[in-house]
Structure 1
Amino acid sequence: MKYRLISMAYGQIGMIQAAAGFFVYFVIMAENGFLPMKLFGIRKMWDSKAVNDLTDSYGQEWTYRDRKTLEYTCHTAFFVSIVVVQWADLIICKTRRNSVFQQGMRNWALNFGLVFETVLAAFLSYCPGMDKGLRMYPLKFVWWLPAIPFMLAIFIYDEIRRFYLRRNPGGWLEQETYY
């Protein structure tokens, strides 16, 4: 495995994907009353079964069971956000130098994979019993959306990278990012 591939996968694209997951997590927590600054330092109280009156940013009290439901919902949303940004990751991996617009989307196995991973994520999120088996809770549809700007950022970033690769073959960008 090449250094450049690891750098792209984990150091660049992977960081954007992780940011998408954490962003969705914070969006859901904030929407439910826990603003980001309120979350820091409450782990001990959050995980304590004895605390059934943990106060959120707006003064609402949360029981242990309700907190855990919210936490597992955030875990599900983090997973779904990774699926959403993987759409872009799968598309950008189709070609190393050409634009996706030049290459097209004629690979039906890849297209099926995009649909399948989305259907699987929806199944795991909405299928009854997943809350017990995998602790995956149903999401509001709008909680699928905050990861989309990150997906677009990955796609646009890689299209620009490939544009400069084609424009300056053998240059610094190719030496550092062409895998």
Structure 2
Amino acid sequence: TYEQRKVVEFTCQTAFFISIVIVQWADLIICKTRRNSLFKQGMKNKVLLFGIFEETFLAAFLSYTPGMDVSLRMYPLKINWWFCALPYSILIFIYDEVRKLIIRRRPGASDPNYVLLFTYISF
């Protein structure tokens, strides 16, 4: 029926929102340093860790709180739908670690470090 299709649509929109939250984990972590690896730098920033947990908690709260299906049209998700974006988050993290490794390998080259110039946006 039409109502069932709308419930599926809104559930998929909730899954998309959760996927954005999961990918933001990687974005937040890779923006932590320009050149140092996360494994060398570590995760000592308590505000950053709190932000990751708070963002995840808020997404879960919005997804599972009764009444959100009416007000925000967010429907509860099965737990395995939370992991759909995890491979993309890992891919982003690995890509940036490789990029940082290439930048660290060529710190004082005579030619410009093209990897740094063309993969890091500086404002």
Q: TM-score, normalised by structure 2?
A: 0.92
Q: Which runs of 5+ in 2 are unaligned?
A: none
Q: How does 1:1-179 map to 2 (within 5 A)?
A: 63-169=1-107, 170-179=112-121
Give the Cα–Cα distance (whole angstroms) in 2 for the partners of residues 121 and 75 of structure 1: 13
Q: Tell me how far apart the structure 2 counterparts of residues 115 and 137 of structure 1 sit (CA, whole Å).
A: 21
Whole-Å separation in 2 of the counterparts to 1:131 and 1:71: 12
Deviation at 1:168, TM superposition (A): 1.7
In structure 1, C-alpha distance between the alignment counterparts of 2:46 and 2:104, rounded to whole Å:
26
Identity %: 62
> Which of the two has higher C-alpha Rg?
1
Partners of 2:113 and 2:34 lie apart in 1 by 15
Provide structure 1 residue ranges, at least 5 long, that are not aligned to the other structure.
1-62
- TM-score (ref. length: structure 1): 0.64
Deviation (angstroms), 1:178: 2.4
CA deviation after TM superposition for structure 1 residue 177, in Å: 1.1
Distance 1:86 1:71 in 2: 23
Structure 1 residue 146, shift from structure 2 partner: 1.2
The one of the two structures with greater contact order (alpha-carbon pairs below 8 A, sep at least 6) is 2
